[in-house]
Structure 1
Amino acid sequence: MTVNHYNNPDFFKKYSQMSRSTQGLAGAGEWSELQKLLPDFTNKEVLDLGCGYGWHCKFAADHGASHVVGIDVSQKMLAVAQAKNANDHISYHCAAMEDLNYPDNHFDCVISSLAFHYIADFSSLVQNITRWLRPNGTFVFSVEHPVFTARGDQDWFYGLNGEKLHFPVDHYYEEGVRETVFLGEPVQKYHRTLTTYLHTLLQAGLVITDVIEPQPPETMMHLPEMKDELRRPMMLLVAARK
């Protein structure tokens, strides 16, 4: 089962202060590119794995989805989703995505934002998602980029004066658990290579339709930290079809 960092009060408090928490999709640097991968939601049955605050659920419902199921392992996240992004067409449920059991051919679209790097068994999950999707169904997800997760500490190499010299990549092919620090709290994530992410989809019988390594949008380049995001990829966006 997924380790639930988001029920940690200190971690959750810090997460709630991030721009993607306070501003929603507009505060997520990858949103402008992720949005391009999403299908027409009109009359679609949608599953959001690791839905968090429910921003993507609300987007799908606002764009015509007949029903959206938002799944998250954190009750704290879902409480905010119910408060900020409730909709008659959305159902929020607390569960680990690895434990879900839906009928075959049940959803038109499965989406997930920055959740799969917390999952140990990506292959089994993708096999389930493929089963749950209807023919021609869409699977769109974002994860932390393998370049970003490889070393574990997810930090820059600094010079003597504290300047960021470069972002180190090491142990890239050694997949598995990484102990890192996120928002000042210890967090466990799983590193896997770009090949593993993509090949797992192909092995499940999915057709990869797009891959994006998003750069910060121009609208965010006034933020000092965004300039460093042009120096290495932090996220990976993938779209596939059954």
Structure 2
Amino acid sequence: MKENKYDNKHFFEQYRQMPRSKEGLKAAGEWHEFEKLLPDFSQKTVLDLGCGFGWHCIYAAEHGAKKVVGIDLSERMLSEARKKTTSPVISYQQKAIEDIDIEPENYDVILSSLALHYIRDFTTICQKAHTNLKQNGTFLFSVEHPVFTAEGTQTWCTDEKGDHLHWPVDRYFEESLRTTTFLGEEVQKYHRRLTTYIQTLLQNGFQIKSVIEPEPAPELKNLPEMQDEYRRPMMLIISAIKA
């Protein structure tokens, strides 16, 4: 499956209104932890898998990257990315993450933000990333946390008043497609165990550098929409290098 809800006009217009869409990286609750794991971009070549609005591509270029390639399946996403991009070192390609080219040792850094849980075959992505990275290159990505994806509906259990009681975790060890509702649309994602993310990287030649389950940034702590994010992990960030 190659998920492309973002070219649905109604879905995309709602996505554009999200804080991280309008304000960029500073409005992303996990950015303060993701940024800490970024390598030095000076004179580096960078590939962004599922680049969306291009925020990470722009950041890499602003911090010295000599070549940045962002890929995304969504034409609407790439159109927004191109509007926001002024750096000549950045280029965008419309293609699915699964279809990235084999380019042995072509990149110093491969990034992905909240995209790989849409991909069925994580093993192949790790193999391609390892092939395409230079020696000691960095593979850094975020996904929805397995605790967040396990039960599937991604909704709180509530009392009769509608207050949130707890987050359901079910079918954790069953790695399969989950269907949830996001921005009023049915969206499909792949649930994987934490073990699978880590072991797949290790089995394909990567050395794990960091595993982070980020809480929202301190400056976002008082926002009403962030209160639930302190009760269960929503994101998982993993940094690895080509050993």
Structure 1 length-normalised TM: 0.99
Alpha-carbon shift at residue 219 of structure 1 (Å): 0.5
Q: How well do the aligned residues superpose, as a CA RMSD in angstroms?
A: 0.7
Does the 8 Å contact 1:144/1:236 carry over to 2? Answer: yes
Alpha-carbon shift at residue 112 of structure 1 (Å): 0.2
Q: Does 1:121 align with 2:121?
A: yes
The superposition leaves residues 94-146 of structure 1 with CA deviations (integer Å, 9 ceiling, x where unpaired) of: 00111111321110000000000000000011101000000000000000000
The superposition leaves residues 4-29 of structure 1 with CA deviations (integer Å, 9 ceiling, x where unpaired) of: 11101111011000000000001101
Moved more, 27-36 or 79-88: 79-88
- 1:40-119 to structure 2, matched below 5 A, reads 40-119=40-119
Alpha-carbon shift at residue 84 of structure 1 (Å): 1.1
Alpha-carbon shift at residue 231 of structure 1 (Å): 0.3
- 1:1-12 to structure 2, matched below 5 A, reads 1-12=1-12
Does the 8 Å contact 1:142/1:237 carry over to 2? Answer: yes
Give the distance between the partners of 1:86 and 1:131, measured in 2 at CA: 30
**Residue 199 (structure 1) aligns with:** 199
**Residue 150 (structure 2) aligns with:** 150
**Residue 228 (structure 1) aligns with:** 228
DSSP 3-state at the match of 1:229: helix
Alpha-carbon shift at residue 86 of structure 1 (Å): 3.3
Alpha-carbon shift at residue 184 of structure 1 (Å): 1.1
Following TM superposition, the consecutive aligned residue runs of length 4 or more in structure 1 with deviations greater than 4 angstroms are: none
Counterpart amino acid of residue 215 in structure 1: E
Give the distance between the partners of 1:87 and 1:75, measured in 2 at CA: 20
DSSP 3-state at the match of 1:87: coil
**Residue 132 (structure 1) aligns with:** 132
Give the distance between the partners of 2:229 and 2:100, measured in 1 at CA: 35
**Residue 35 (structure 1) aligns with:** 35
**Residue 165 (structure 1) aligns with:** 165
Structure 2 length-normalised TM: 0.98
DSSP 3-state at the match of 2:43: coil
Does the 8 Å contact 1:155/1:167 carry over to 2? Answer: yes
**Residue 21 (structure 1) aligns with:** 21
Gaps of 5+ in 1: none
Alpha-carbon shift at residue 162 of structure 1 (Å): 0.6
State the percentage of identical aligned residues: 56
**Residue 176 (structure 2) aligns with:** 176
Alpha-carbon shift at residue 85 of structure 1 (Å): 2.4
The superposition leaves residues 24-59 of structure 1 with CA deviations (integer Å, 9 ceiling, x where unpaired) of: 001101000000010000000000000000000000
DSSP 3-state at the match of 2:195: helix
DSSP 3-state at the match of 2:230: coil
**Residue 185 (structure 1) aligns with:** 185
Give the distance between the partners of 2:240 and 2:136, measured in 1 at CA: 9
Give the distance between the partners of 2:50 and 2:103, measured in 1 at CA: 19
Alpha-carbon shift at residue 218 of structure 1 (Å): 1.2
Gaps of 5+ in 2: none
Counterpart amino acid of residue 24 in structure 1: G
Does the 8 Å contact 1:211/1:238 carry over to 2? Answer: yes
Does the 8 Å contact 1:53/1:85 carry over to 2? Answer: no
